[in-house]
Structure 1
Amino acid sequence: MSESVSLQIKKYIPLVEFLGSVMGSHCEVVLHDVRNIENSIVAIKNSHISNRKVGGSLTDLALKILKDKSYIGKDFLINYAGKTQDGKIVRSSTFFIKDDMGNVIGMLCFNMDVSKMVETRNLLDSLINGAMEVPENGLQLEGKQPGHHDPPIEDLHTSIEDLTTSIVCKTISETGITPDRMSSEEKMEVIQKLNEKGVFLIKGSVSEVAKHMKTSEATVYRYLNKA
């Protein structure tokens, strides 16, 4: 890592404190150095929202962005839903910090805790729209149901181990088949999906994947090479 690139990330650290103070205690501001996936967080303000701290890891969404390079031609990603490990709903946005070659080297992220706002909206929805269950002889107009909100597309985990386990378990569960009943083709498909999600950018992930897939590390590497 060159000194100039290191300084390019460091200059955003005072901005984390400033923006976190301006936005208030309901907004978490996080600065990531994406060249260190396992310990990417270099500064954080209002950390009580996700309970993460300096030295924490990237999120599942950030891994996918790095893997598929969807940041190319884009400066930021705004207003997507996320969820903390203890269940808080957050509205998130990310600014991409790039080097002179256009590669992402850092991310400045905002996570607004909207849990209480969602609870308030749900209460108002129930008052405005009435009961969720409609009697057989009743009629309800079509539209968004009370309590509707965008499903989270990002999970904010407090450790790289929790992040890895969460992605692997979620990907396996999406198949509807337990690893001990999977065919070789089905296992290779899971490995390919994990690769697309950037799991194998994480150090030690092959061992973790092999454990959950009930196979050997050598087999995981073989599937990766085929994928």
Structure 2
Amino acid sequence: MSNHIPSQLQPYIQLVEFLGCVLGNQCEVVLHDVRNIENSIVAIKNSHISNRKVGGSLTDLALKILKNKSYVEKDYLLNYSGKTHEGKIVRSSTFFIKDDLGNVVGLLCFNMDLSKMVETRNLLDSLINGAFEVSSNGLDLNGRTPGDIENPIEDFHTSIEELTTSIILKTLSETTISPDRMSADEKIEVVKQLNEKGVFLIKGAVSEVALYLKTSEATVYRYLNKLDTKQQNGKFINELQH
């Protein structure tokens, strides 16, 4: 076991191998070291599901969790939907590994490949109802159902560059205005959304964002400083009011 891996994560490395064998080859088990966003995967079993490997990066959802610190009040997330780079549908759960101060140091993730099950269910639905239907019970963390294959909330990528580009393009697709026609305020809003998704936790993300927004790195940094100042002022006003 590598000395670069935090001591809190060392016991989980063997557990990844064990759980991967117990749960079967349709369940991918992954251990992430969140200190190293670009190369967070330190152990993985049944990697054929997402085609990731040791040295791979965090996912978009994991970045968002680190950014908004939702792990503070939770110990785990259960049964949310995801999609691999190849389009496989997975049902995922994540356990937060924390230090003595409650800070997250690692993530133990389970990704169950549902592709064949979804195909079988849709086939049965078509035979029973005469049309494909998607239905399920139980809510996941975003208010969607675990079987909601139309709107997976996590994407798996094989490289940090791929992840960064995917989040940027997805965010830009949510507006009808092209970057070269955006006002400064509209670009600030895009930067705000990307910041909330944890994009700027990734090394080199500022230059990538600047490229897609058709502006300079200095301008993106200025937008981030403006957002940070606004957030700090908001906290100060809120404290005065209470």
Using structure 2 for the length normalisation, give the TM-score.
0.85
1:97/1:104 contact within 8 Å kept:
yes
1:122/1:146 contact within 8 Å kept:
yes
Aligned match of 2:87: 87
Question: Deviating runs (4+, > 2 A) in structure 1?
Answer: none
User: How many Å separate the matches in 1 of 2:167 and 2:29?
Assistant: 23
1:207/1:217 contact within 8 Å kept:
yes
- Runs (5+) with no aligned partner, structure 2: 136-146, 228-242
RMSD (CA atoms): 1.4
Q: What is the deviation of 1:7? A: 1.3
1:84/1:157 contact within 8 Å kept:
yes
User: How many Å separate the matches in 1 of 2:177 and 2:219?
Assistant: 19
2:107 aligned with 1:107: yes
Aligned match of 1:159: 159
2:157 aligned with 1:170: no
**Which letter maps to 1:79?**
N
User: How many Å separate the matches in 1 of 2:123 and 2:49?
Assistant: 23
Q: Name the % identity.
A: 77
Aligned match of 1:146: 133
2:97/2:106 contact within 8 Å kept:
yes
Q: What is the deviation of 1:5? A: 7.8
1:74-108 deviation per Cα after TM superposition (whole angstroms, max 9, x unaligned)? 11000000000000000000000000000100000
2:204 aligned with 1:191: no
Q: What is the deviation of 1:128? A: 1.3
Q: 1:54 to 1:109 in 2, by over 3 A?
A: same
Aligned match of 2:8: 8
Q: What is the deviation of 1:176? A: 1.7
**Which letter maps to 1:67?**
K
2:5/2:33 contact within 8 Å kept:
no
1:5/1:99 contact within 8 Å kept:
no
Using structure 1 for the length normalisation, give the TM-score.
0.91
Aligned match of 1:59: 59
Q: What is the deviation of 1:147? A: 3.8
User: How many Å separate the matches in 2 of 1:4 and 1:186?
Assistant: 42
Aligned match of 2:74: 74
Q: What is the deviation of 1:130? A: 1.4
Q: What is the deviation of 1:195? A: 0.3
Which 10-residue stretch deviates more, 122-131 or 159-168? Answer: 122-131
1:122-133 equivalent positions in 2, closer than 5 A? 122-131=122-131
1:100-130 deviation per Cα after TM superposition (whole angstroms, max 9, x unaligned)? 0001000000000000100111111111111
Q: What is the deviation of 1:180? A: 0.7
User: How many Å separate the matches in 2 of 1:86 and 1:214?
Assistant: 30
Tell me the secondary structure at the aligned position of residue 97 of structure 1.
strand
Q: What is the deviation of 1:177? A: 1.5
**Which letter maps to 1:77?**
L
2:172 aligned with 1:179: no
- Runs (5+) with no aligned partner, structure 1: 132-144
Aligned residues: 212
Aligned match of 1:139: none
2:64/2:196 contact within 8 Å kept:
yes
